[in-house]
């Protein structure tokens, strides 16, 4: 069992840290909101730290799940960041969805301090985190990823070592590019079926068993038809992720016309007040016939 510092106890980080505690690991947690950290500790045990640096003092492994590049930079190399107190040989695993650029930067910074770094963004949403069924895409050296797998297996259904530093983050961008196109297609299909006055349950039964089937269709067709969008992954976060993909595409020369268009469609839904609604709220911008 490992001595772990866990930084960031949001809708993803909180359940992930909970699985680690249930697996028997010793956790010290940090969250920007100290109240949330205390509530987590009351539920799962473990200690609460007042800063990432304090959380990491005695940790063999530091795991983060925060919000943005700036948040990640602050909790790692900031004035009270975890890298300040991590000991040489320590393992750092980041589950935040951020730019490949900062993942590569942290790898280099960690290497200079004798640390092993893995960028390991996750897919599966809040339900995947709560059920311990996340898909994790990893960038880093093989020894570092193999070491990370030992603890990640307590909350993952699939763990894939994609390549070197930053590869996990670029693979997560691939994931979000795929999802953006699927949700737009699903939104158009649903509105088309409604305009044709079809029985939506029968339509789903007919098409979900063939080539049109997808996770989004299986889990969001019915709720989209009911205008229900209160699920885990918010549009604000999707736009952040698509922005990262578009930024990386400008750097590597890839062309993402559909992704860029769907990103702007999400901006329309934000303007309608849908910032915190699930990504399937994309259908809201297509008016009913």
% pLDDT > 90, the chain:
97
pLDDT digits (tens, 9 = 90+) for 49-80: 999 999 999 999 999 999 999 999 999 999 99
Has residue 289 got a pLDDT over 80? no
The answer to whether 26 is a known catalytic residue is no
Rounded CA separation 108/54 (Å): 23
Candidate from 104-108, 207-211, 230-234 with smallest mean pLDDT:
230-234
pLDDT digits (tens, 9 = 90+) for 153-172: 999 999 999 999 999 999 99
Buried b (16+ CB within 10 A) or exposed e, 138-174: bbbbeebbebbbebbebbbeebebbeebbbbbbbbbe
Residue 288's pLDDT is 86
pLDDT digits (tens, 9 = 90+) for 170-202: 999 999 999 999 999 999 999 999 999 999 999
Structure tokens at 5: 């510092």
DSSP secondary structure letters along 11-78: TTHHHHHHHHHHTT-EEEEE-SSHHHHHHHHHHH--EE-SSHHHHHTT-SEEEE--SSHHHHHHHHTS
Enter the pTM of the model: 0.93
Catalytic member of 36, 149, 172, 240 = 172
* Structure confidence at residue 12 as a pLDDT band (50, 70, 90): very high
């Amino acid at each position: 069992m490992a001595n772990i510092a866990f930084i960031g106890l949001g809708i993803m980080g909180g359940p992930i840290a909970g699985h680690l505690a249930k697996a028997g690991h010793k956790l010290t947690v940090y969250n920007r909101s100290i109240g949330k950290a205390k509530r987590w500790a009351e539920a799962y045990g473990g200690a609460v730290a007042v800063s990432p640096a304090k959380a990491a003092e005695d940790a063999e492994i530091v795991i983060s799940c925060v919000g943005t590049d700036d948040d990640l930079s602050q909790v790692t190399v900031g004035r009270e960041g975890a890298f300040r107190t991590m000991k040489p040989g320590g393992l750092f695993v980041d589950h935040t969805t951020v730019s490949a650029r900062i993942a590569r930067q942290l790898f280099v910074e960690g290497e200079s301090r004798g640390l092993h770094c893995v960028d390991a963004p996750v897919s599966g949403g809040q339900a995947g985190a709560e059920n311990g069924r996340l898909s994790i895409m990893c960038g880093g050296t093989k020894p570092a990823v193999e070491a990370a797998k030992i603890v990640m297996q307590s909350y993952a259904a699939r763990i894939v070592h994609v390549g070197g530093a930053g590869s996990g983050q670029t693979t997560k961008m691939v994931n979000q590019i795929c999802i953006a196109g699927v949700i737009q297609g699903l939104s158009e299909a649903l509105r088309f079926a409604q305009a044709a006055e079809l029985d939506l349950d029968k339509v789903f039964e007919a098409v979900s068993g063939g080539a049109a089937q997808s996770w989004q269709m299986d889990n969001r067709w019915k709720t989209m038809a009911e205008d229900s969008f209160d699920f885990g992954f918010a549009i604000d976060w999707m736009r952040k992720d698509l922005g990262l993909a578009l930024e990386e595409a400008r750097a590597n020369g890839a062309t993402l016309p559909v992704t860029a268009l769907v990103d702007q469609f999400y901006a329309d839904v934000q303007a309608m007040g849908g910032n915190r609604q699930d990504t399937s709220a994309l259908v809201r911008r297509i008016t009913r016939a």
